[in-house]
């Protein structure tokens, strides 16, 4: 007699609210909505029995830390959410802005993000900034990939330290962006932004941590 295991179902569980904050990487520049990493993450969690709703996204291509902060203010009150993600900073580096400025602004954003999670740092997930210096776009622009990497490492270390101080989970997706970010399949048509396949890699890395954070929701 064959035993059939029923798929995970979230039909009888209360839906958890998800707020995703960021820039082009969160809005998913040049990919369909279903390919965005926060949308992929929510779907993957539902598949594992966590009733996380598709995210409300506050993000736009080109935003820096201060621009995201201003956009959040323009949309308040946002209310409390069960889960909040944050990925921001690539445009600070791209524009040549100072890492110490980023440190201060990121820390303030993280504090706000924790507030949107009901003052529960254990319900916040931060992703590191990917390395766009390996992309064909960076090569075409004549960018020094080593310099880009060094500057992004400094920004990511600032973010990592802020997360550690506040007990927030930090997921490193920079490594996979460096090892696979130049692959055609991992790039959108613009040769800069990630494809849905690369976002799936980020989701794979974030999923076990997000699941742990929401395990007792």
CA distance 113 to 208: 21
Low-confidence ranges of the chain (pLDDT < 50): 1-8, 10
Structural domains in the chain plus CATH codes: 18-214 (3.40.50.1110)
Cα atoms in the 13 Å half-sphere on the side-chain side of 174: 24
Q: What is the widest separation between alpha-carbon atoms in the chain?
A: 66
For residue 199, the model assigns a pLDDT of 98
What's residue 14's pLDDT?
81
Instruction: Give the pLDDT confidence score for residue 12 in this predicted structure.
Output: 60
User: Any alpha helices (H) in 20-173, and if so which ranges?
Assistant: 24-27, 37-47, 65-75, 90-94, 99-116, 136-141, 145-166
pLDDT for position 76: 79
């Amino acid at each position: 007699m064959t035993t059939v295991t029923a798929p995970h179902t979230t039909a009888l569980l209360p839906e958890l609210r998800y707020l995703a904050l960021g820039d082009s990487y969160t809005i998913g520049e040049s990919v369909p909505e279903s390919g965005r990493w926060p949308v992929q993450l929510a779907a993957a969690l539902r598949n594992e029995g966590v009733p996380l709703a598709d995210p409300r996204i506050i993000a736009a291509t080109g935003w820096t830390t201060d621009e995201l902060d201003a956009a959040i203010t323009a949309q308040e009150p946002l209310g409390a959410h069960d889960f909040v993600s944050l990925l921001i900073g690539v445009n600070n580096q791209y524009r040549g802005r100072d890492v110490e400025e980023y440190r201060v602004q990121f820390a303030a954003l993280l504090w706000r993000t924790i507030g949107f999670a009901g003052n529960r740092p254990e319900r916040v997930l931060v992703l590191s900034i990917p390395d766009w210096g390996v992309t064909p776009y960076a090569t075409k622009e004549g960018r020094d990939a080593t310099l880009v990497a060094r500057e992004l490492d400094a920004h990511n270390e600032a973010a990592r330290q802020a997360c550690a101080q506040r007990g927030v989970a930090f997921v490193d997706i920079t490594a996979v962006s460096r090892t696979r970010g130049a692959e055609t399949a991992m790039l959108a048509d613009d040769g800069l932004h990630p494809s849905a396949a690369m976002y799936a890699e980020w989701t794979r890395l974030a999923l076990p941590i997000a699941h742990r954070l929401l395990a007792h929701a």
